[in-house]
Structure formats: structure tokens, C-alpha cells
Amino acid sequence: MSPRIKALVFDFDGLILETEMPAYRSWAEIYREHGHELPRDRWLDYIGREAGWFDALIHLESLVTAPFDREAVRRRREERRAQLLAELDAMAGITDYVSEGRRLGLRLAIASSSPSAYVRAHLGRGGSRCRAGRGARARRLAKWDRGGEGGRPVGRRRAERTHGRG
């Protein structure tokens, strides 16, 4: 008997929503406002690494000789990043995969290491609802349900059994 696909699990950042460019662009703009350039190669090395490997705020502060208000710079960057993210639509093809998955009766889930409130906020922009599962943030899976029907959150182990581990 051949294996049967029972679910589609989508990674949120980078697959459903391309969040890396707004993150980079917002920092690059802040750096330019302070007369410096954010080294693109440093940023590219940072992508996918654990938090704390590169702190753009600390790096910028080390370059600026004028008085530097860390909190104001952090807030300004977060506001700009939020503006850029709000302009984004789902990546090409995602809506088609979701529609086809629903047509086939597959379970749909989102995997994300981002906080569930962040994922929910972005899914909510498109009329979606997201229900976060339990467990560590890096293991959190959220059930994506546009139709408004109930449904219990999909936990990591159950999702692995449903869609396989590879």
C-alpha cells in the first residue's frame, strides 16, 4: 500500500509570507538614516541562524558617534517593518495550494517559530483564522481554517503522524 498524503503543512515565514525582505529593508533604511550601510553579506549570513547571532541594533549603535537613542531606533524600525509587512500578499501559489488542499479534503496547518499572535495577525489580514497548537514556539503548529468551522489545534506529534517526517 502506498503512503497517502493527509495534510499540507506550510512554513509561515518565507513560504506563506516573504518576511525576510521587509526585515532587511527596514534595517537598511534605519542604517542609512544614520549615515551607514547595513552589510548585506552580514545579513545574508544571519538568515536562518538562532536569535542573537547578529544584533543589527547593537551593530548600528557601534557605528554611530552621535547620541543614540536605542529605544527610539528600535521602535522606528519595528514600525517601518510593520508597514512593509502590511503591504505583502501571500507568496505566489500559496492560495492555489490551499484551495487544492481543501478540495482534496486535506488537513492544512502552519508551522512557525514566530509567536502565534504574529502569525494570526498576518493571516487575519486575508480573512483567515489561525489556531495555535501547544508546545514550544519552534514546534508550534497552527491549524489554518478560513471557513470558520471549529476544529482542534494540530499538535506536533499528530501532524508528524499525519504528514510524515520528511
13 catalytic residue (yes or no)? yes
The alpha carbon of 107 is separated from its chain's Cα centroid by a whole number of angstroms, namely: 20
- DSSP H or E stretch at residue 83: helix 70-86
- DSSP H or E stretch at residue 109: strand 107-111
Is the four-CA dihedral 125, 128, 132, 136 of positive or negative sign? Answer: negative
41 catalytic residue (yes or no)? no
**Radius of gyration of the chain from Cα atoms?**
19
C-alpha cell at 163: 504528514
Residue 14 CA to residue 147 CA, distance in Å, equals 24
From 11, 55, 69, 96, active-site residue: 11
Return the active site residues. 11, 13
